[in-house]
Amino acid sequence: MESRGASAWRWLREHAVVIVGILVVLYMLVPILVIFAFSFNDPAGRYNFTWVGFTLEHWRNAFGIPELNEALLTSLKLAVLATLISTVIGTLMAMALVRYEFFGRRPANFLIVIPMATPEVVMGSALLSFFLLINTFSLGFETLLIAHVMFCISFVVVVVRSRLIGFDRNLEEAAKDLGASPLQTFRLVTLPLIMPGIFGAAMLAFALSIDDFVISNFNSGTTVTFPLYIFGAAQRGIPVEVNVIAMILFFFTCAAMGFATWQQRRAEKMASVRPEQEAGVGFPAGAPAAT
């Protein structure tokens, strides 16, 4: 009897980390489940806070609110443009920082890190001050795009840079030995190999942009993005359709994430030319350790 209690206690002690880990994961997933569940709710009034009854009505009517659609469309347009611009200029910056030794490299690194260490409310209010005082930009889509590209660049640089650091330069040497021009080498060897990194960076930029509220809140003027619509609607009651669209975005992002991981694994197989080198399981956030 006592030994059974003792062994149960031992089991609990040995598995404590795992148990806590599982509880924390549940804690992280509960709000998502709540959002999902309440997308099927049939609220009595305007407030979707208490469970009333099950209905598929709001999934059927997902795109039935014109202002919400417009806000979503603005967000998508903004995110696509911000992703394109920040991915291109961020990738170029990452190339410069990893491949070249040059005067001003440290300040450049600092310039990239410091926006990530600044609270969004400071970035948002600084940009608004700037726009107010110079008076050449009118607040709206244009200023939103400027802001979104600004806060995406640093993240793109960090992700692409980690990919470039784990890069086997011998492959480029081989291409040159085989008579490829620098441009051909870049297009046919370098770019395909760092493509998963660039794709991961682009996905991150897209996610950051479409989810941004604080900086947009300061610089949107009268333009309404998806998060700004939710903020505005929060006071007068959020329509259930918002939950539906949030879940659609969620599933869409999951699919994109799955695709990116699959691509990355494929690229790692491609890149692991030396048989003794084992391709580690890659995750966008974790850089392959430089040897």
Site for other proteins in 253-272 (CB under 8 A): 253-254, 257, 261
Judge whether 38 and 50 are in contact, CB under 8 Å: no
Per CB under 8 A, which of residues 50..69 are in contact with other proteins?
50
Comparing CB distances to other proteins, the nearer of 131 and 193 is 131
Shortest separation between residue 278's beta carbon and other proteins, angstroms: 15
In the set 1, 45, 289, 291, which binds other proteins (CB under 8 A)?
289
Part of the chain binding other proteins (CB under 8 A), chosen from 4-12, 91-99, 173-181, 184-192: 91-99
When asked if residue 174 is in the footprint of other proteins (CB under 8 A), the reply is: no
Per CB under 8 A, which of residues 217..236 are in contact with other proteins?
217-218, 226-227, 230-231, 234
Q: How many residues bind other proteins (CB under 8 A)?
A: 95
In the set 160, 175, 242, 267, which binds other proteins (CB under 8 A)?
242
Part of the chain binding other proteins (CB under 8 A), chosen from 2-10, 87-95, 166-174, 194-202: 87-95
Shortest separation between residue 43's beta carbon and other proteins, angstroms: 11
Nearest to 63, CA basis, from 241, 226, 220: 241
Shortest separation between residue 39's beta carbon and other proteins, angstroms: 10
Shortest separation between residue 167's beta carbon and other proteins, angstroms: 12
Shortest separation between residue 37's beta carbon and other proteins, angstroms: 9
Per CB under 8 A, which of residues 136..165 are in contact with other proteins?
146-147, 149-150, 153-154, 157-158, 161, 165
